[in-house]
Amino acid sequence: MSASSRGNLETVKLLVDSGAKVNESDPFGMSPIIGAAASGNRDVVTFLKSKGAKVSPGDLERMYTIMRAFGSHEEAKEEINKIRSVLGESADDLLPEIPDPPAQTGKEIRDAVVIVWREFIDALKAGETKKALGYIASHERQKYTEIFEAMGPENVKKAFSNGSQLFFDEEIDANAPFVKCSIIRTRDGKEYSFAVILVREIDGIWRITSF
């Protein structure tokens, strides 16, 4: 419900009365109560709680990842703490403290990203889609779950049977919120370049947001 993010309480009430699900997430995994809290809409948060809206650790972790893709760890941490403040007691035990990730050099980031990508591809080549999804950023995991399910294990294995080597087009900035690289795939005898983007999640691990 986008109305919860906009703080339109009357519209939210109307939607809920019409059957809208208070715990249904959007394509990025954001639930209505998290959207309302992120916008500072305490009245909407209170109303959604009264209708059974729940908050899970995954909600805040996904929100952190989305924010981290566009800013620094400190900025994302500050925004999450604001959300926790609006949510009140319902968030106290969910994400009590956001750890500061250890500093990494550009080379260390590159090495970590290469390992993540290699293990992700190996899992897909083996048809182990559940394992592969562990390398996908939390806010994109549902999307890729549906994609892999639609493809089926055998088609997934076939699609990634030749693997895909990562290419880094530029030097990695150790302070950048995400890493962008590329892969080359061959289709019908022609080579195509596809972007691969990874972000460092709240647990300090680099995961794939798109490929």
What single letter denotes the amino acid at residue 28? F
Chain CA centroid to CA 143, Å: 10
For residue 206, the model assigns a pLDDT of 93
For residue 22, the model assigns a pLDDT of 82
All residues at 6 or more sequence positions from 20 whose CB lies less than 8 Å from its CB, including other chains: 1
For residue 208, the model assigns a pLDDT of 94
pTM, entire model: 0.70
For residue 202, the model assigns a pLDDT of 81
CA dihedral for 53, 138, 65, 7, sign (positive or negative):
negative
Tell me which residue of 64, 62, 34 sits closest to 48, measured CA to CA.
34
Structure tokens at 155: 């088609």
> Judging by beta carbons within 10 Å of its beta carbon (0-12, 13-18, 19+), is residue 35 exposed, middle or buried?
buried
For residue 6, the model assigns a pLDDT of 65
For residue 5, the model assigns a pLDDT of 63
The backbone torsions φ and ψ at residue 186, rounded to the nearest 5 degrees and listed phi first, read -105, 125
pLDDT by position in tens, the chain (length 211): 565 666 678 888 888 888 888 888 776 667 888 888 888 888 888 888 888 888 877 777 788 888 887 778 888 888 888 888 888 765 556 655 677 778 889 899 999 999 999 999 999 998 899 999 999 998 888 889 999 999 988 888 888 877 678 888 788 888 888 899 998 877 777 888 889 999 988 888 899 999 8
Tell me which residue of 123, 132, 10 sits closest to 140, measured CA to CA.
132
For residue 94, the model assigns a pLDDT of 62
**Maximal CA-CA distance, the chain:** 58
